[in-house]
Structure 1
Amino acid sequence: MSATTHAVPHDSPVAHGNSVLRVAAAPPAEAAAYFRASLAFHTDVSDVAAVLAAGSDPGFVLVDCRSTESWDQGHVPGAVHLPTALVAERAGQLLDPAVPVVTYCWGPACNGAARAALALAELGYRVKEMLGGFEYWVREGFEFETWQGTERPAADPLTAPVDAADCGC
């Protein structure tokens, strides 16, 4: 998908130094196509947590693609541990190609989940990346497991609502 640069009228806010609109917003149809495509590739921590909390078959398998040391430090309950470097070697033993996969790594500053998703897609798996990774799982106050047991931190009010079940988005 390519972004289209649109002409800016001389009397528009852009012509007067508006850096937000220096490149005009995409037309609605192009924006809809972009965001629809984005949602086909990504999910977020809250959505994954809500589906897992429902207790029934989530319809996907959650894959933690970090190292064993990272896994031991903490991981999402029920996740499968499959480090990115071992995807080609172990995916066939751990994952059913008919079941979609959701990958996660450390957090927004890490692209390990994207690399694992790419490796899995190249092997024929349907895959999404969980945006925010383990960092936002913890920051949003969801339970996680370590080699020492289970922990549930308080939610960070900058990432999750304090007095509501979800953010409403």
Structure 2
Amino acid sequence: MSTVTAEDARRHFAARLAFETDVSDVAAHLAAGAPGIVVVDTRSAESWAQGRIPGAVHLPTAEIADRAGTLIPGTAAVVVYCWGPGCNGAQKAALAFAELGRPVKEMIGGFEYWAREGFPVESGAGAVARRPADPLTAPAEDASCGC
């Protein structure tokens, strides 16, 4: 095992927190009506219709360079998501926003963990549903994991 100093670890984890957020934090910001945050779903039209975060903007990764300027206010802090932790689509989208000079964070866990933690989901039919949280991913009795 390589030797890593406490300072190396501090820098590493501080950098991760600067560029990543989780579904619970995003849900809390949205519920509080935090200004200046735009959540961007970077998946395909078919995935978007299947289910998404209410209030998210649909902007597939391949279209970010051409359409971000007209869809996302220049002063907004962008939070991107894709399917889930097994997909690097959100990382590709975050890179595309960063290359445009935009502040951006990746929502780790993606849409999968948003739904699994029981947050509201909007579908192509327009319905908003709140599902029970998966007890393997979120506390069954409380909305917060306490972390």
TM-score by length of 1: 0.83
Query: Hey, what does 2:2 align to over in structure 1?
Result: 23
Query: How far 1:129 sits from its partner (Å)?
Result: 0.2
* Mapping for residues 83-162 of structure 1, pairs under 5 Å: 83-148=60-125, 149-162=127-140
Query: How far 1:82 sits from its partner (Å)?
Result: 0.3
Pairing partner for 2:42 from 34, 57, 65: 65
Query: How far 1:60 sits from its partner (Å)?
Result: 1.2
Aligned length: 146
Q: Identify the structure with bigger relative contact order (alpha carbons < 8 Å, sequence gap 6+).
A: 2
Q: Secondary structure at the match of 2:135?
A: coil
Contact 1:63–1:102 (8 Å) recurs in 2 = yes
Contact 1:42–1:131 (8 Å) recurs in 2 = yes
Contact 1:97–1:124 (8 Å) recurs in 2 = no
Structure 1: give runs of 5+ residues left out of the alignment. Answer: 1-21
Deviation sequence 1:72-121 (CA, Å, 0-9, x none)? 00000110000001111110110112111000000000011110110111
